[in-house]
């Protein structure tokens, strides 16, 4: 652990201890002031948060509603050591510094589960929340109860259930600066003595918080809606059936990307010019490209992301005497259609269209024994089958600046790629079957030994191909037959076209095509995987009195290997088949934690210290041109401490918060992609020329050494029937690298974010009106960035693209409950 982290942790421990002692003394005689228990299902049983021996944070539905939390990305400011960020062509989620990179074929390191159903695609993180009862963030491998793809942790989401009594609500909020509106409503109640229902709906519109100077519009413009219906039926006195159906769309026009950090080209035909000056001054691009500072003004020719989802689930809860049997049958479909102006400027350079569809069926059976005996257990079987199709097209329009730029270097070559595209197709069919069990042996009244394991068989077949075609997907005309040679030599994109060209009787075609196939690899490519893996866990729990516990756990987890959807070439691998497949990622975690109820029930104080070793980490690194290369490239060690607390300080004030100290270190990462301008120091292919950068000893992207939050929730009666509320949230993070290549220009400095909410409403809770201020200090947070595509590789100029978060917002909220 780094010395400065130890100092900060020591200071926190001292402070927490003083608070605990003070609270114990002040409230020793006031045990009636107790915190309301938070019930979670992290262990697949309903338990109090303080009774679950693992590092977990829970955000209630009430908090989500009052804080106007839209989606999982917003949770990170309430939960230290959980980070979620949108990228150019994907979404990254990290817990304790571990997460999945950018590749649509990756399974997720942070598993997402909604009412027990696995949501496995990264894009589904962008789905909005609707009528949520609770969101639980579980840190560390959760492979036994949650499955193979929870190697870093899990997000366990529970939606609200139908009620025995009729109730309903309707709420609306308006944000004035960015013209954002949200309307959501719910009705719930009985249909008969045995049947209950719940219907919820939500609609959101956002005009945008950045100006696209090229198109003169506000971006990103968002519109999403979701509708869910739930029926709960008492089939017998011992069997309850729950049927849930949900459909939704979330659509976005535009992005929140800006171009920054431009430097003049050091050599070549554009020496002395910045990338924006090359685009506007040399090639006549729109003047909006000259804005290359962070100021909420961007240039782009337009982007969009249109997403549709459908989810259906049938859950059977059957009480078999003292035992509980649960069956979850689920069908989900998810698809999107995107266009990325992926040069990230208002110049006409190139674009990328992306389409993805994912269909999943799953069946789970779970049997739980009664609690309170000498032994208890949870055991189950799980089956999942899925079909995953992915396509993208890298497009060069007839007016692209690449055409004259390439012609200037090689006359006529630019004309070959005008109005063409590199059209990629990839598929993976996957079948998973697993059996799991977790046994608890209560050795004494104070000590429990818990052991468990999950055995998983993962079978999958995958394939990928790419063809250079015309802009309308028709075959290339004879005059552009050689276009694949330009794609290969300048952009590093191999294609099936090269196979035919290598057989040509024309040496000017066959010789370079053969050379490119040797350097880049041949398509199409396919592969099959069939692997069985066991994930064990052992945990010792010590109940210290009736309200406190200590635990120690050792667990192993893994994330499935698969097939690379996004690579443009074989990279440094010997052939395309080897490059196509990547193997499982494995983790071993040791954790020591404690949970304490203090001050007569007025305070909860929890801690967890952990050490995790990752092997064969799956990474995805931008290749510096137009592609991403993936593989099992690294190992890492992560150690840290997490502390959280809740304190009913007075009858009207509750204070809660958390602190995470994380020390992430790559112990072996010799094949990292260098940022433009860095000096390579690794000769990966042994040809005497270094191509890559050694990042051994570095931390991971998006990892902060220190993160913390504190919330003050004040509620006081006003008059006879009203209640005034005030919530003040503070979130702090130390600096972190926002790029996977450790570009020094893309480091987010430490910052503090402040949010506040003031409300007035009835004491009965029937209505309230509130003003909500987010990001009061107006921080523009850098969440992700990288080299601007082609700026360095083609034009020789340093340039970065960067995702920046939203600034200060003020909203008015109103809710009526009936």
Q: State pTM to two decimals.
A: 0.89
Q: Please give the pLDDT value at position 627.
A: 76
Contact between 520 and 484 under an 8 Å Cβ cutoff? The reply is no
Q: Please give the pLDDT value at position 90.
A: 63
Contact between 818 and 167 under an 8 Å Cβ cutoff? The reply is yes
In the predicted structure, residue 13 carries a pLDDT above the cut 70: no
* pLDDT tens digits, 68-116: 777 777 888 888 888 877 665 667 788 898 877 777 878 888 888 999 9
Say how far apart CA 250 and CA 244 lie, in whole Å.
Answer: 20
Smallest CA-to-CA distance from 576 within 484, 670, 465, 487 is with: 465
Q: Please give the pLDDT value at position 87.
A: 66
* pLDDT tens digits, 459-476: 999 999 999 999 999 999
Contact between 34 and 41 under an 8 Å Cβ cutoff? The reply is no
Q: Please give the pLDDT value at position 258.
A: 96
In the predicted structure, residue 613 carries a pLDDT above the cut 70: yes
Q: Work out the average pLDDT over 238-253.
A: 95
Both tokens assigned to 38: 């938070």
Contact between 356 and 390 under an 8 Å Cβ cutoff? The reply is yes
Both tokens assigned to 16: 């927490």
Alpha helices in 328-472 (DSSP H): 402-409, 413-417
Q: Give residue for tokens 């608070």.
A: 19
Phi-psi region of 624 (alpha: psi -120 to 50; beta: other; left: phi over 0): left
Q: What is the 3-state secondary structure (H, E, C) of 622-656?
A: ECCCCCEEEEEEEEEEEEEEEEEEEEECCCCEEEE
In the predicted structure, residue 29 carries a pLDDT above the cut 50: no
Q: Please give the pLDDT value at position 63.
A: 85
Q: Please give the pLDDT value at position 32.
A: 53
Say how far apart CA 488 and CA 495 lie, in whole Å.
Answer: 8
Contact between 486 and 421 under an 8 Å Cβ cutoff? The reply is no
Higher-scoring residue by pLDDT: 534, 371: 534
* pLDDT tens digits, 624-661: 677 777 877 779 999 999 999 999 999 999 999 999 99
Both tokens assigned to 551: 């635990």
Query: For 522-652, where are the E strands, in sequence order?
Result: 525-544, 548-559, 562-563, 581-582, 585-598, 603-622, 628-648
Higher-scoring residue by pLDDT: 687, 815: 815
Both tokens assigned to 170: 């309707």
Q: Please give the pLDDT value at position 97.
A: 86
In the predicted structure, residue 546 carries a pLDDT above the cut 90: no
Say how far apart CA 346 and CA 290 lie, in whole Å.
Answer: 9
Bridge partners (DSSP) of residue 297 are: 211
Q: Please give the pLDDT value at position 624.
A: 67
Mean residue pLDDT of the chain comes to: 90
Both tokens assigned to 269: 């035909």
Contact between 637 and 606 under an 8 Å Cβ cutoff? The reply is no
DSSP state of 129: P
Say how far apart CA 263 and CA 274 lie, in whole Å.
Answer: 5
Q: Please give the pLDDT value at position 556.
A: 93
Contact between 756 and 728 under an 8 Å Cβ cutoff? The reply is yes
Contact between 585 and 558 under an 8 Å Cβ cutoff? The reply is yes
Q: Which residues, in sequence order, are CB contacts of 226 under 8 Å at separation 6+?
A: 127, 128, 130, 201, 202, 246, 247, 248, 249
Q: Please give the pLDDT value at position 8.
A: 43
Q: Please give the pLDDT value at position 263.
A: 96
Q: Work out the average pLDDT over 605-634.
A: 83
Contact between 190 and 165 under an 8 Å Cβ cutoff? The reply is yes
Contact between 789 and 150 under an 8 Å Cβ cutoff? The reply is no
Q: Please give the pLDDT value at position 5.
A: 41
How much is the CA Rg of the chain, to the nearest whole Å?
Answer: 28
How many angstroms from the chain centroid is the CA of residue 153?
12
Q: Which residues, in sequence order, are CB contacts of 293 under 8 Å at separation 6+?
A: 258, 260
Contact between 549 and 595 under an 8 Å Cβ cutoff? The reply is yes
Higher-scoring residue by pLDDT: 50, 448: 448
Q: How confident is the model at residue 766 (pLDDT cuts 50, 70, 90)?
A: very high
Angle subtended at Cα 804 by Cα 800 and Cα 806, rounded to the nearest 5 degrees: 165
Say how far apart CA 313 and CA 315 lie, in whole Å.
Answer: 6
Q: Please give the pLDDT value at position 149.
A: 76
Both tokens assigned to 695: 């990042």
Helix (H) or strand (E) holding 159: strand 153-159
Q: Please give the pLDDT value at position 88.
A: 57
Q: Give residue for tokens 């450790």.
A: 742
Smallest CA-to-CA distance from 328 within 137, 190, 147 is with: 147
* pLDDT tens digits, 145-165: 887 778 889 989 999 999 999
Q: Please give the pLDDT value at position 305.
A: 92
Both tokens assigned to 693: 């950068």
Phi-psi region of 601 (alpha: psi -120 to 50; beta: other; left: phi over 0): left
In the predicted structure, residue 2 carries a pLDDT above the cut 50: no
Percent of the chain with pLDDT over 70: 95
Contact between 632 and 618 under an 8 Å Cβ cutoff? The reply is yes
Say how far apart CA 318 and CA 324 lie, in whole Å.
Answer: 6
Q: Which residues, in sequence order, are CB contacts of 436 under 8 Å at separation 6+?
A: 144, 145, 379, 380, 381, 382, 452, 453, 454, 455
């Amino acid at each position: 652990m780094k010395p400065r982290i130890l100092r900060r942790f020591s200071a926190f421990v001292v402070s927490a201890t003083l608070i605990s002692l003070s609270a114990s003394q002040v409230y020793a005689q006031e045990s009636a002031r107790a915190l309301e228990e938070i019930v979670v299902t992290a262990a697949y049983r309903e338990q109090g948060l303080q009774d679950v021996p693992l590092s977990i944070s829970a955000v209630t539905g009430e908090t989500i509603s009052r804080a106007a939390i839209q989606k999982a990305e917003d949770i990170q400011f309430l939960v230290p050591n959980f980070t979620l960020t949108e990228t150019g062509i994907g979404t990254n989620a990290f817990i304790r510094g571990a997460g999945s990179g950018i590749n649509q074929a990756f399974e997720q390191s942070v598993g997402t589960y909604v009412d027990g159903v696995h949501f496995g695609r990264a894009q589904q993180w962008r789905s909005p929340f609707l009528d949520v009862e609770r969101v639980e963030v579980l840190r560390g491998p959760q492979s036994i109860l949650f499955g193979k793809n929870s190697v870093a942790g899990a997000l366990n989401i529970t939606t609200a259930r139908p009620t025995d009594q009729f109730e309903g609500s309707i709420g609306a909020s308006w944000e004035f600066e960015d013209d954002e509106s949200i309307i959501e409503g719910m009705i719930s109640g009985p249909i008969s003595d045995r049947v209950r229902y719940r219907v919820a709906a939500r609609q959101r519109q956002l005009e945008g918080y950045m100006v696209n100077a090229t198109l003169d519009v506000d971006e990103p413009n968002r519109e999403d809606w979701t509708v869910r219906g739930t029926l709960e039926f008492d089939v017998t006195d011992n069997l309850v059936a729950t049927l849930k159906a949900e459909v939704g769309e979330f659509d976005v026009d535009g992005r929140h990307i800006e171009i920054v950090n431009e430097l003049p080209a050091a050599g070549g035909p554009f020496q002395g010019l910045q990338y924006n000056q090359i685009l506007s001054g040399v090639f006549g691009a729109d003047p909006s490209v000259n804005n290359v500072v962070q100021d909420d003004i961007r240039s782009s020719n337009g982007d969009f992301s249109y997403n549709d989802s459908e989810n259906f689930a049938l859950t059977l809860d059957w009480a078999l005497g003292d035992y509980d049997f649960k069956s979850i049958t689920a069908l989900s479909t998810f698809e999107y259609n995107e266009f990325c102006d992926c040069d990230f400027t208002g110049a006409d350079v190139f674009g990328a269209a992306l389409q993805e569809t994912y269909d999943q069926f799953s069946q789970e059976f779970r049997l739980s024994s009664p609690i309170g005996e000498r032994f208890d257990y949870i055991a189950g079987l799980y089956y999942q089958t899925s079909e995953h199709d992915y396509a993208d097209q890298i497009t060069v329009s007839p007016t692209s600046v690449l055409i004259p730029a390439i012609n200037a270097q090689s006359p006529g070559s630019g004309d070959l790629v005008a109005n063409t595209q590199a059209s990629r197709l990839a598929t993976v069919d996957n079948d998973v079957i697993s059996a799991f069990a977790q046994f608890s042996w209560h050795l004494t009244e104070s000590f429990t030994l818990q052991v468990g394991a999950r055995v998983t068989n993962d079978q999958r077949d995958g394939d990928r191909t790419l063809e250079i075609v015309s802009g309308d997907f028709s075959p290339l005309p004879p005059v552009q037959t050689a276009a694949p040679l330009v794609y290969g030599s300048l952009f590093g994109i191999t294609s099936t076209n090269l196979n035919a060209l290598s057989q040509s009787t024309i040496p000017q075609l066959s010789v370079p095509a053969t050379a490119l196939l040797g350097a880049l690899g041949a398509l199409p490519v396919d592969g099959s995987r069939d692997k069985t893996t066991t994930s064990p866990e052992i945990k010792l729990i010590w109940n210290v009195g009736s309200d406190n516990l200590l635990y120690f756990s050792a667990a192993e987890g893994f994330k499935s290997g698969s097939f690379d959807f996004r690579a443009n070439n074989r990279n440094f691998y010997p052939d395309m088949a080897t490059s196509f497949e990547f193997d499982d990622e494995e983790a071993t975690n040791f954790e020591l934690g404690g949970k304490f109820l203090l001050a007569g029930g007025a305070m909860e104080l929890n801690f967890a210290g952990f050490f995790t070793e990752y092997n064969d980490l799956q990474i995805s690194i931008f290749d510096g041109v137009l592609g991403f290369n993936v593989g099992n490239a690294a190992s890492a060690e992560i150690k840290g401490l997490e502390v959280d607390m809740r304190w009913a300080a007075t009858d009207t004030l509750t204070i809660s918060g958390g602190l995470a100290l994380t020390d992430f270190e790559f112990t072996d990462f010799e094949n990292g992609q260098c940022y433009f301008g860095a000096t390579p120091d690794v000769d990966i292919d042994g040809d005497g020329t270094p191509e890559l950068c050694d990042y051994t000893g570095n931390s991971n992207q998006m990892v902060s050494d220190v993160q913390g939050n504190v919330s003050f929730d004040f509620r006081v009666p006003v008059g006879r029937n009203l209640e005034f509320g005030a919530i003040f949230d503070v979130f702090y993070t130390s600096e972190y690298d926002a790029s996977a290549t450790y570009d020094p220009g893309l480091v987010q400095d430490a910052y503090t974010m402040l949010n506040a909410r003031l409300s007035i409403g009835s004491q009965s809770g029937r209505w309230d009106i509130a003003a909500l201020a987010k990001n009061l200090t107006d921080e523009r947070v850098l969440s992700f960035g990288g080299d601007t595509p082609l700026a360095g590789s083609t034009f020789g100029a340093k340039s970065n693209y960067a995702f920046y978060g939203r600034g200060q917002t003020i909203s008015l909220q109103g809710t009526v409950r009936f």
